Amino acid sequence: MTLIEVVVASAILLVAFIGLYSLFQASLHYLAIARAREGALSLAVERMEELRALPYSSVGTVSGIPSGTIPQDESVALDGISYDRRTLIQYVDDPADSSGSADADGPEDYKRAKVVVSFSTSYGTSSVDLISNFIGPGGSETNNGGGTLSLTAINAEAQPISGAEVNVVNTSLNPTINVTTYANTSGLVLFPGAPPGSGYQITVTYPGYSTAQTYAATSQNPNPNPGNLTVSANQTTSATFAIDALASLLVRTWQPIESATTTDTLTSSSYLSATSNTGISGGALTLTSGQSGYPPSGSAQSTTFTPSYLSQWQNLSWSATAPAGTSVTVQLFEQNGTLIPNSALPGNSTGFTTSPINISALSTSTYPSLIIGATLATNNASTTPSISSWSLSYLQGPIPLPSITFSIHGAKTIGTSGLGAAIYKVSQTLSTNTSGEYSTSTLEWDSYTTAVASTTNWDVSSACPSEPFSVAPGSSGTNNLYLVAHTQNSLAVAVHSQATGNPIANATTTLSRSGFSSTVLTDSCGNAFFPGLTAASNYGLSVSALGYTGTTTAATISVSGQSTYSISL
C-alpha cells in the first residue's frame, strides 16, 4: 500500500469509528435515562399504591390540606440514584354540583393526588408524574365544614404567573398546615376544604422574582396589610399577590463638580520643567542676569498640570510685571510639549499678554494635561520683566465619596405603626464601598426614596434621577447622590416639566425672604440646592427657564432641617 492509500483508509476508518462512538454515547445516554425513569416510575407507583391502601379519610399529607401521614417531600435512593418524591393531595370542588358556598355538600367533593418523582443524571434533570382521583366510600361526598382558599399570582402588569410557588402556613390549627404548590396557567391556586380558622400566612414567589406575602400582627407591625387570611366554613377566601422580576440598582455617592485652582507662586524652580535664560529671583521668574546684564529674551515652562477628575478647563491666569521696554507673553502647551494650535485656543500661537485667558472651550478629553509656557523679553540689558505666579482654574468632579451610609425605602407598605406611620416593605440602611458604590441585583420593583443622615456630616445637594425614582421589573439602573457639607437647614428644589415630567436643567431658581435672596441654576438633573439657611416658614421661590412661558412662583415655603420642594414649569 502506498502512503496515500494508508491515509485514505485511516480517514475512512476514523469517520466510521466516530459514528460508532457517537452511537455508543447516545445509547449510554438513553440507557441511563431509561434506567432512572424506570426507578422514578416505580417510586411513583409505590406511593400511589400506598395511598390506595389508605381509608379515604386518611388520604392526605403531613401538614397538608387535607391532613394525613404521607410526607409532602422526601429524598429516596434507589439503585444508586437519588430521587426527590413530592406528593400533593388536594380536595377538588367539582362544578358539576356547584362550587364554593353554592355547593350544599361543601367544596370537598373528592381528593386528587399528584406524585412527582424527579431525578438528575449527567445528562440533565427529568421527572415522572402520576395523578389519581380518590372518591369517598360508595361515591359519597364528605363535608368537613371547610372553606376554600383562592390565591392568584400576577405580575406588575396584572398578568397571571404560571408556575408561581404558593406556600400556605397556619400553625394555630391542629394539625398545623404547611403546604406548597404551584399556580396553574391562570396564576391560580385553590385549596378547597381548608379548615376554618385565622392565621393563614401566604407566601408567593417565583425564581428570580420578588416575594409577596401576608403578615401577622406584631409589636413592630401592629396593623399589617395584607394581614394573614381567615377561612370560614363553606366560604371562599380570595387574595391576589403581585410579584415580578427583581431589578438591579447601582447607587453612587459623589462630591459634586466644584471650582478648583492649581497655582505656582514661582518662589522656587521646583515646578519648572525647562528654562532658557530665565530663573527664579526674588520670588519671581525673571531673565537671568549675566556680566553684560539681562539677555534680550528668555523662556520657561511649567511642569505638567494634570488635575484629577477634570470636568472643564476654566481660566489661565498669571501675575506679571513688565516695565517699559519689556514684555511677557504666555502660551499653553500639550503634555508632550507641543504648542496647542489656534484651532483649539485662538491666539495661542502668538501668545497672550493680558491675564486671565478663558480656556473653557479646550476639550478635556483631547487636552487632559497642560503646560504653561512664558517668554520674557527686554530691550534694555538693565531691566527685566517678571512673573510672580501663574495658575490654571478648572471644574473638578464629580469625585467618588467612599463609605457613605444612606437609607432607601420604597413606596409599598406592609402596614402601619400604632401611631399610623407607614411601615415600608423595603426599608434598609446601607453603605457605599471604598469606591463610593453600592450595588444590588435583588431589588423589588417600586418607587424609591434615598436619604443621607445628617450624622454623616453630608447633605444630598442633588439626586439623579430626581426622587422618588421608579424601578421597573427586571430593569438595571443607577442612582447618583451628590453630597455637600452638612448645614443645619437647607432646601433642595427639584424642577420638572409639567408636560413631560422630565427634569429641567439650567432653570433659574431664586429663593428669598426678608433680608435674604439667593439664585441657583438647576443641574443636569433639574436640582438646585440652597445650604446654610435660617429655619423659617415664609420663604418664596421663583423659577424660570428658557423655552418655558413666564416665571413660576411659590410662596410660604417652610425650611427646617433638610427640606425639599418640587415645582413644575
Q: Taking the domains of the chain in order of start, what are their residue ranges?
A: 52-242, 258-397, 487-569
The pLDDT value given to residue 455: 79
For residue 389, list its beta bridge partners. 319
- Grid coordinates belonging to 261: 485652582
Let me know if the fold of 258-397 is the same as that of 487-569.
no
Q: Distance between CA 91 and CA 482 in Å, rounded?
A: 58
Q: Give me the phi and psi of 169, to 5 degrees please.
A: -130, 135
> Phi, psi at residue 298, to the nearest 5°?
-160, 165
Query: Which is it for strands 476-485 and 247-255: parallel, antiparallel or unpaired?
Result: parallel
| Cell reading at 179 | 403546604
Select 258-397's CATH number: 1.10.260, 3.40.50, 2.60.120, 2.40.50: 2.60.120
Whether pTM exceeds 0.85: no
| Pairing verdict, β 188-194 and 386-396 | unpaired
Per CATH, domain 52-242 is 2.60.40.10: yes
DSSP state of 215: B
Q: What is the pLDDT of residue 10?
A: 79
Give the per-residue pLDDT at 105: 63
Three state DSSP letters for 99-155: CHHHCCCCCCCEEEEEEEEEEEECCEEEEEEEEEEECCHHHCCCCCCCEEEEEEEEC
Spell out the residues 6+ positions from residue 217 whose beta carbon is closer than 8 angstroms to its own. Answer: 223, 224, 227
Q: Do the beta carbons of residue 253 and residue 397 sit within 8 Å?
A: no
**Residue 57 DSSP one-character state:** G
Map residue 35 onto helix, strand or coil: helix
- Per-residue pLDDT, 107: 76
CB burial of residue 306 (10 Å; 0-12, 13-18, 19+): exposed
Best CATH choice for the domain 487-569 from the list 2.60.40.10, 2.60.120.620, 3.40.50.1100, 3.30.465.10: 2.60.40.10
CB count within 10 Å of CB 135 equals: 12
Residue ranges of the chain with per-residue pLDDT less than 50: none
- Whether residue 239 contacts residue 226, with contact meaning beta carbons closer than 8 Å, is answered with yes
Chain segment 303-358, per-residue pLDDT in tens: 999 999 999 999 999 999 999 999 999 999 999 999 999 999 999 999 999 999 99
